[in-house]
Amino acid sequence: MSTNPPLRRMTGLTMVELIMFIVVVSVGIAGILMVFNVAVKGSADPMQRKQAIAIAEALLTEIEQHPFTYCDPQDANVLTATAGNQCANDEDKGGAALTAPTPAGETRYSLSTPFNNVADYGGFTKSNIDDISGNNAMSGYSASVTITRAGNGLPQSPSAVPDGAALRIQVTITYNSGRDSVTLTGYRLRYAPNSAG
């Protein structure tokens, strides 16, 4: 009889098992990092969208707060005209497309001849949109404005609203290198056709 204890088999990992473990863990970590990278890459999108919405709301509010009169607010007949054809500068544009300011020399940024009527903003476009003073440019955000007559097309509109007495204002802000955009729509009724304000 032998007095030596029985030999026990040694336990542990073989080299092959260790390499397989490292490969499996590496693939798992790589997958998690790829998902994390996609999540981090898209995390700025909500902030960019929120900024675009804020810019669109500000521009839409700016437009809607302008007068919507028959005549240009600086026209001599602004307080007495009963139709656009009684004005030197017809803000109705005689039924023509609302794609340029009236008079033609008005701009959003001019101190002497600024946009002063809702319809003046029709066709307005600006890359790197900024505030009305021309300062604080928002790099990467572009604006475009479309204004159309909407009296006959107002939702639940009474038939008494003439087509030229309501304008549909559509402000589109494009961002993220032109891949994304936000569009806000508002309506402006001509409730004070003979007022300078």
pLDDT at 178 over 80: yes
- Closest C-alpha among 161, 136, 151, 40 to residue 98: 151
The whole-number pLDDT of residue 155 equals: 62
Look at residue 61 in the predicted model and tell me its pLDDT.
95
pLDDT digits (tens, 9 = 90+) for 27-80: 999 999 988 887 776 666 788 889 999 999 999 999 999 988 888 888 888 888
Q: What pTM does this model have?
A: 0.73
Instruction: Please indicate whether residue 128 or residue 41 has the higher confidence score (pLDDT).
Output: 128
SS (HEC) of 48-98: HHHHHHHHHHHHHHHHHCCCCCCECCCCCCCCCCCCHHHCCCECCHHHCCC
Domains of the chain, by residue range, sit at: 41-189
DSSP assignment string, 140-158: T-EEEEEEEE-GGG-TT--
Tens of pLDDT, residue by residue over 70-89, are: 888 888 888 888 888 888 88
pLDDT at 105 over 80: yes
